[in-house]
Structure formats: C-alpha cells, structure tokens
Amino acid sequence: MIKINLQKVTETFQIGDKTYEADFNDEALKKYFKQGQKIWEYDKQVSEKYPDIENTDDFGKVCTAVIDVLPARAESYKSFFDETFGEGAGEKIYAICGKSTPNMQKVFMEVWKVIYRKVMDIETESDRTAKKYVKNRNQKR
C-alpha cells in the first residue's frame, strides 16, 4: 500500500479574540492573489504619487499623503479579509485592530505570509517529488 499525505486545504487564524478560517483550494487561492495584486497595484500608485515620502521632512506632504492613503488602504485590506474569511470579516478585523490601518497592515502581512507559503510549499513539494523520481530513475540505470 502506498500512503500519500496531503496538505490541509484550510487554515485557522486567531485575530484578537476571534477565530477565522481560510480555504486554500485553487479557486480561493486565485481570489486571494487577485486581492493581493490589487493591494500591490494600489501601493505602486501611492509610491508614484508620493515618491520618497518616507524620507521627506516636509510635514505638509506627509499629512497630505496620510489623509489621502489611509482610508483607501483600509478599504483594500477590508476587501481582502472579506474575500479570505467571509463577508463582514474586514470590518470586524478593522475593529479588532482598533480601527488602525497600520495594525490592519500587520494582520494582512501575517495572513499573506501563510497564503504565500501554502502556494510555495505546493511547488516545493512537487519539485522534491520530481527530483526524487529523477534521482531514483538514474540510480536504476
């Protein structure tokens, strides 16, 4: 008998005192990466609109950027969490984060690391299996 071990297709996250579950099937992963791409594109637009904002001493520019960026960034994270954990999760996580976009960004980054690892583990496992097959095949010759 050959036993094949499969990865779980769900993962549970505890954010504050709430527990959320995310699916990691192919359709869900595509949705997560589409949301991630939207966030990346928005960040790229912000970088183009406010180049070198982290290194400026111009308090007025910083204020303008923060006033402009925070609401849109919060909405993009809420959309991501709604997609990942279900409708309404974004607003709940925003509340758990004290309605703080920087806190929400930390949660996003932690969740994103898990999503990214899930995809990379799948590829890594495939690569390992292929290498093992090739190695065994070459040894038999």
Residue 51 included in any domain? no
- Beta bridge partners, 22, equal 11
The pair of three-digit structure tokens given for residue 55, joined into one six-digit string: 């290194």
Please state, in angstroms and rounded to a whole number, the distance separating the CA atoms of residues 55 and 58: 9
pLDDT in tens, 37-79: 999 999 899 889 888 888 888 899 888 888 989 999 999 999 9
The pair of three-digit structure tokens given for residue 66, joined into one six-digit string: 């923060």
The structural domain count of the chain equals 1
Residue 69 included in any domain? no
The pair of three-digit structure tokens given for residue 44, joined into one six-digit string: 């790229």
Cβ–Cβ < 8 Å for 35, 25: no
Residue 62 included in any domain? no
Please state, in angstroms and rounded to a whole number, the distance separating the CA atoms of residues 49 and 43: 10
> Does the reported pTM lie above 0.75?
yes
Residue 78 included in any domain? no
pLDDT in tens, 78-120: 999 999 999 999 999 999 999 999 999 999 999 999 999 888 8
Please state, in angstroms and rounded to a whole number, the distance separating the CA atoms of residues 81 and 121: 22
> 108: domain range?
89-125
The pair of three-digit structure tokens given for residue 24, joined into one six-digit string: 């990691």
